[in-house]
């Protein structure tokens, strides 16, 4: 089983077997490690040099990577070679990626900086923006504390019982919920006396370590 380590990609993996391949997102591309033995790992490839990788996900046998101040890339050979798949994404800074099974096919979501939300139903060959996020009243207040001082879509997660029910966290400034696949998200309110900055929302009933 292959897993990815990244800020804005899949963060929970469940499998009955130990992982034997790890894709690590770095500020200088993606490093792929393979298990040689108990507690022993070898670097088998280092790709996407010069790109700050923010998100890594797996969709069947394809690896997808999202890059800060760049875009979406896909690999069908375990990260050795890559092709750009961003037709329709107008924002060139991808912070988060997530995949869900919807109506018999994989739907992939991408979140960007500044905050926009896109989806693809054809494994990245074409993307469509979901403009509802841009209509959230609190959008002007979403702000990160470093250049370019604007918020970004930090993470995308799903209700395990409903593929159209998703959560989107904004770093820094908001937690959004949508019941229609991101078409019309709404900001979740917080008590006026306790309104913490939200950067990530994780859903699930439990997890165990995959070693």
Structure confidence at residue 75 (pLDDT): 96
Task: CATH number of the domain at 100, please.
Answer: 2.130.10.10
Residue 139 covered by a domain: yes
- Distance in angstroms (rounded) separating the CA atoms of residues 117 and 56: 17
**Residue closest to 179 by CA, chosen among 193, 160, 159:** 159
Residue 85 covered by a domain: yes
Residue 207 covered by a domain: no
Annotate 138-149 with b (16+ C-beta within 10 A) or e (fewer): ebeebebeeeee
Split into its structural domains, the chain has a count of 1
Structure confidence at residue 48 (pLDDT): 97
Annotate 175-185 with b (16+ C-beta within 10 A) or e (fewer): bbebeebbeeb
Residue 209 covered by a domain: no
Q: What share of the chain is helix, strand, coil (3-state, %, to 5)?
A: 5, 45, 50
pTM above 0.85, yes or no: yes
Mean pLDDT per 10-residue interval, the chain, length 211 residues: 92 85 96 90 95 96 95 94 96 95 94 96 97 91 84 93 94 91 87 46 40 39
Report in angstroms the alpha-carbon separations of 78 from 1, 39, 206.
11, 21, 28
Range of the domain at 59: 2-187
- Distance in angstroms (rounded) separating the CA atoms of residues 94 and 114: 9
Structure confidence at residue 190 (pLDDT): 60
Structure confidence at residue 12 (pLDDT): 87
Contact 155, 201 (CB under 8 A): yes
Residue 178 carries which DSSP code?
Answer: E
Residue 45 covered by a domain: yes
Residue 201 covered by a domain: no
Residue 200 covered by a domain: no
Residue 9 covered by a domain: yes
In the numeric block, which tokens belong to residue 189? 């309110």
């Amino acid at each position: 089983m292959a897993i990815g380590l990244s800020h804005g990609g899949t963060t929970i993996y469940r499998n009955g077997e130990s992982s034997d391949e790890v894709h690590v997102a770095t500020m200088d591309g993606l490093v792929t490690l393979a298990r040689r033995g108990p507690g022993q790992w070898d670097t088998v490839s280092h790709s996407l040099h010069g790109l700050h990788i923010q998100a890594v996900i797996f969709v069947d046998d394809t690896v997808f990577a999202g890059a800060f101040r760049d875009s979406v890339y896909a690999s069908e050979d375990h990260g050795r070679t890559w092709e750009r798949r961003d037709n329709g994404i107008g924002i060139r800074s991808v912070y988060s990626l997530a995949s869900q099974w919807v109506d018999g096919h994989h739907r992939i979501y991408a979140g960007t900086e500044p905050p926009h939300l896109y989806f693809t139903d054809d494994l990245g060959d074409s993307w469509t923006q979901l403009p509802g996020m841009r209509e959230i009243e609190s959008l002007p207040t979403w702000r990160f504390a470093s250049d370019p001082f604007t918020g970004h879509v930090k993470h995308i997660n799903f209700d395990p019982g409903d593929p159209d029910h998703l959560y989107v966290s904004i770093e820094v400034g908001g937690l959004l919920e949508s019941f229609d696949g991101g078409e019309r998200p709404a900001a979740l309110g917080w008590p006026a006396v306790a309104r913490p900055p939200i950067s990530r929302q994780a859903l699930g009933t439990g997890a165990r370590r995959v070693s």
